[in-house]
Homo-oligomer: A and B are copies of this chain.
Amino acid sequence: MFGMSEQGSPPARPTIRDVAREAGVSVTTVSHALNGKGTASEATRQRVLAVADRLAYRAHPMARGLRQGRTGVLGLDMRPLDAIGSYLPEGVDYFMRFAGAAAVTALDHGLGLMLVPDLTRSDIPQYAHGVDGYVVGDPVRNDPVLTRLLDAAIPVVTVGRDPGRPKFTDWVGPDDAYETERVLELLRSRGAENIALLAGTDDNAWNVDSEKAYRSWARRGGMPTRVLHIPEAAGEDGGRDAARRLLRGKQPRPDAIYCQTGRHAAGVLAEARRLGVSVPRDLLIAAGSDAQQTRLAVPGITALDLGPEDSGRAAVELLIARLAGDTTPGPIILPTELRIRASTGDA
């Protein structure tokens, strides 16, 4: 106490001790007054608040976090981040809307959201342990990040399920199978009889469940199936290549193509046009994920708007509920919007 060198000059940052000294009470009373705990009288409380305000006192989150064992910060595994440098705006659109909604939702609960670059690329960095829980998007089968976080006993909620963890139910997201059939039904109602699927190659539930639903739906409807697996990272080029094979190959030409990603769909559209295949007259196109490419294409491409804002919001809320001890079973299924555009023609 006598060694406190701050006696000579004001501290750079006021601490709870400064407030206690000026208010003439103990640090316990200051803490109680500021946090609505204990039994401080109203008069004491007001005095404390006034002093804290005058000194611009703010609790140090590190100290508080250390004592309380939680920090008030959530982590967001920023999975598509690596692609930014290579200029793949597919993830940009979806992810930003998702991250934005997540951040706002966190803030509404007085929490922060920390962007953590793709944890699949490196071990969990030191600072990333200082969060109360994580949101991870589109886990792949037996996702390594999910493994790490679960091993480290860090609470986690995913968007989409991990195909290799059927018992992990802390996830939110659309019913991919149902949504896929929804688009297929639209294509059928617009006259399609031979629908090809352009799937991605990531081993995540989105791809897995959508393809499974496609095959099941086609079989039940007595329709032919044709699936091409194109890496998500191939983007529009991948879509173009696939369209060439589908529209110029030896097999019967499909009259509709359902692409998982909007960029694949944009590539298919561009190549169809180049090959003289008219959309939507000769070929219908739809995408399982809305993006700038589907919105700005001419003609606009019908797409499932997966509602990244809803996903971000729901994921954060589920994580907060889990942190608060809520054990309501997951998953939380979210609706989507089917944005009908010219690529699927008129009714």
Q: Identify the A interface with B (CB < 8 A).
A: 12-13, 56, 58-66, 71-73, 76, 78, 81-82, 84-85, 87, 89, 92-93, 95-97, 99-101, 103-104, 107, 110-117, 122, 125-130, 151-153, 292-293, 296-298, 309
15 further A-B contacts with Cβ under 8 Å, apart from A61-B126, A85-B101, A292-B292, are A61-B129, A66-B66, A71-B127, A81-B103, A84-B96, A84-B97, A84-B104, A85-B309, A104-B117, A110-B126, A110-B127, A112-B116, A113-B114, A113-B115, A293-B296
User: Inside 8 A of A73's CB, which chain B residues have their CB?
Assistant: 114, 127, 130
Nearest B residue to A102, CB-CB: B115
User: Inside 8 A of A297's CB, which chain B residues have their CB?
Assistant: 296
User: Inside 8 A of A101's CB, which chain B residues have their CB?
Assistant: 84-85
A-B contact list, 16 entries, CB within 8 Å: A56-B151, A60-B66, A61-B129, A62-B66, A62-B130, A65-B130, A71-B127, A72-B127, A73-B114, A81-B104, A82-B104, A85-B101, A85-B309, A95-B96, A103-B115, A110-B127
Residue pair B97, A93 in contact (C-beta under 8 Å): no
CA distance A71 to B110 in the complex (A): 20
CA distance A56 to B293 in the complex (A): 45
CA distance A8 to B92 in the complex (A): 50
Among A63, A292, A293, max chain B CB count under 10 A is at: A292
Pick from B59, B112, B125: contact of A128, CB under 8 Å: B112
CA distance A90 to B190 in the complex (A): 33
Residue pair A12, B112 in contact (C-beta under 8 Å): no
User: Inside 8 A of A13's CB, which chain B residues have their CB?
Assistant: 153
User: Inside 8 A of A130's CB, which chain B residues have their CB?
Assistant: 60-62, 65, 71, 73
Nearest B residue to A130, CB-CB: B61
CA distance A73 to B81 in the complex (A): 18
Residue pair A112, B85 in contact (C-beta under 8 Å): no
Pick from B84, B85, B112, B117: contact of A125, CB under 8 Å: B112
CB distance from A52 to the nearest CB of B (A): 13
Pick from B12, B93, B114: contact of A153, CB under 8 Å: B12
Among A56, A107, A113, A293, max chain B CB count under 10 A is at: A107
CA distance A99 to B99 in the complex (A): 11
User: Inside 8 A of A127's CB, which chain B residues have their CB?
Assistant: 61, 71-73, 110-112
Pick from B78, B92, B103: contact of A97, CB under 8 Å: B92
Q: Which 9 A-B pairs have the closest CB atoms?
A: A61-B130, A84-B100, A112-B127, A114-B114, A62-B66, A62-B65, A92-B96, A72-B127, A292-B292
Residue pair A112, B112 in contact (C-beta under 8 Å): no
Among A71, A72, A117, max chain B CB count under 10 A is at: A117
CB distance from A176 to the nearest CB of B (A): 23
User: Inside 8 A of A81's CB, which chain B residues have their CB?
Assistant: 100, 103-104
User: Inside 8 A of A128's CB, which chain B residues have their CB?
Assistant: 112
CA distance A59 to B71 in the complex (A): 15
Nearest B residue to A73, CB-CB: B127
